[in-house]
Amino acid sequence: MSEISHLASIKARFGIIGNSPALLRAISIAEQVAPTDMTVLITGESGSGKESFSKIIHSLSKRKHGQFIAVNCGAIPEGTIDSELFGHEKGSFTGAIEARKGYFEVTDGGTIFLDEIAEMPLGTQARLLRVLENGEFLRVGSSKVQRTNTRVVAATNLNLQQAIENGKFREDLFYRLSTVPIYVPPLRERGDDIELLFRKFTTDFSESHRVKPISLTNEAKILLQKQRFPGNIRQLKNLAEQISVLEMGDRIVDEHKLQDYLAFNEPKISSHVMKGDFFQSKDGMNEREILYKILFDLKKDVTELKKILLKVIETGNTNVYDVLHDNMSLFEDIRPVQEETSTLGLSLPSYNDSENQLKIDSKPEKEELEEAQFEEISMNANDVTLSLEKQEKEIIIRALKKNKNKRKYAAQDLGISERTLYRKIKQYDLEDLA
């Protein structure tokens, strides 16, 4: 059997899709190291499929009939991870009502996969080092030495060398873990594999839901392969399933449709924004949440306005404009929305796209609005609009500067499409910045 066909059989067995050289090399290393008891360190970005390689190593080893357990070190609290991995004795801590075996006892003769190993606390790292060196460990609350014959396969999406320099990872543990390193390439480095995976996900969806499969035009395929996919295979699968659900008609997706889906799936808030950059308010709200709050407040005010108008109708009070003037607070600090018309034929404050201003149009049947009242309403309405426009313009300027005038990334931070951002740039005369 040739090397290519041999690797193809492994891929088919473990459900791995792709033919990129970096991927095939990772599979080949996993197969070669599997029959040994050597410790393996798998590196690669989150969502790139590292756990699949741990299963290859276990399934092709002499331990394949033993227990295999995958442990996410980053998901276990620091106070309980020692107990989870090494077990504990009865009464060793509050809530320890009985003795419990840890994962290293359970997997004796098998394999334990320690995912996100960089998140393991330093104290636990020292315990793990002892296991790797001589197979010994202590249960929490016990002085009796336990032994285990467990193979360790670890994985991380972080730079362990940098973690060592920052004092967050033991250097001796790093060298003990990385006896055989395996690098799993990110999706953006796998070329044609992106289209193969996309087709696999959409085909699986169409078969399970009995719908016509999605097809991409040649231009759309080129666009798909140009994407960075920071979420890797997880992100691509989400995209494929989303398109499979939402796409109607002939279910043929061209580059324009695909661009809309890609824009929708891009992360809207980067990590530094979530940590308190200018796209997050002091109370923890990001820009989109603030806009939602404004819209919800607006809806509440419109409801109150309708109640007032209904009261006018029921009581027979024809002096509608006096009532509105007494409730001018309803028109303050709200975002303009599309025009709504009351049952009396009165146009409520509305955003006019063509004139870019708030208007109050009226056709009173019994009396005209006094000039002073009309000027006061108009002045308040215009102040609201100008204030909102100024804030929007400032946000756009900051987004462009933050992303070094790259519209694509500025639009992603703002949570809008590039087309909308382009229109806003022209509206506010910001071409020099962009």
Per-residue pLDDT of the chain (434 residues; tens, 9 = 90+): 567 788 999 999 999 999 999 999 999 999 999 999 999 999 999 999 999 999 999 999 999 999 999 999 999 999 899 999 999 999 888 888 899 999 999 999 999 999 999 999 999 999 999 999 999 999 999 999 999 999 999 999 999 999 999 999 999 999 999 999 999 999 999 999 999 999 999 999 999 998 899 999 999 999 999 999 999 999 999 999 999 999 888 899 999 999 999 987 766 544 444 333 334 444 444 454 555 556 656 666 677 777 777 766 666 655 655 665 666 655 554 434 444 444 344 444 444 444 444 443 444 444 444 444 444 445 554 554 556 677 778 888 888 888 888 888 888 878 788 878 888 888 888 877 65
As its CATH architecture, domain 3-185 has: 3-Layer(aba) Sandwich (3.40)
Q: Which residues contact 294 (CB under 8 A, 6 or more apart)?
A: 334, 335
Residue 351 has what pLDDT?
A: 42
- Residue 114: beta bridge partners? 71, 154
- Residue 138: beta bridge partners? 145
Cβ–Cβ < 8 Å for 253, 247: yes
- C-alpha span between 288 and 413 (Å, rounded): 10
**Structural domain spans, the chain:** 3-185, 188-265, 287-427
Cβ atoms within 10 Å of 359's Cβ, excluding its own: 18
| CA distances in angstroms from 313 to 175, 264, 330, 340, 373, listed in the order given | 81, 45, 19, 17, 21
**Residue 283: phi, psi to the nearest 5?**
-90, 15
| CA distances in angstroms from 379 to 374, 385, 386, listed in the order given | 9, 10, 11
- C-alpha span between 222 and 139 (Å, rounded): 55
- C-alpha span between 155 and 113 (Å, rounded): 8
The DSSP symbol for 349 reads S
Is 3.50.50.60 the CATH number for 188-265? Answer: no
Residue 428 has what pLDDT?
A: 81
Q: Which residues contact 116 (CB under 8 A, 6 or more apart)?
A: 72, 73, 74, 75, 155, 156, 157
- C-alpha span between 34 and 114 (Å, rounded): 16
Residue 343 has what pLDDT?
A: 39
Cβ–Cβ < 8 Å for 176, 132: yes
Three-state SS annotation for 294-347? HHHHHHHHHHHHHHHHHHHHHHCCCCHHHHHHHCHHHHCCCCCCCCCECCCCCE
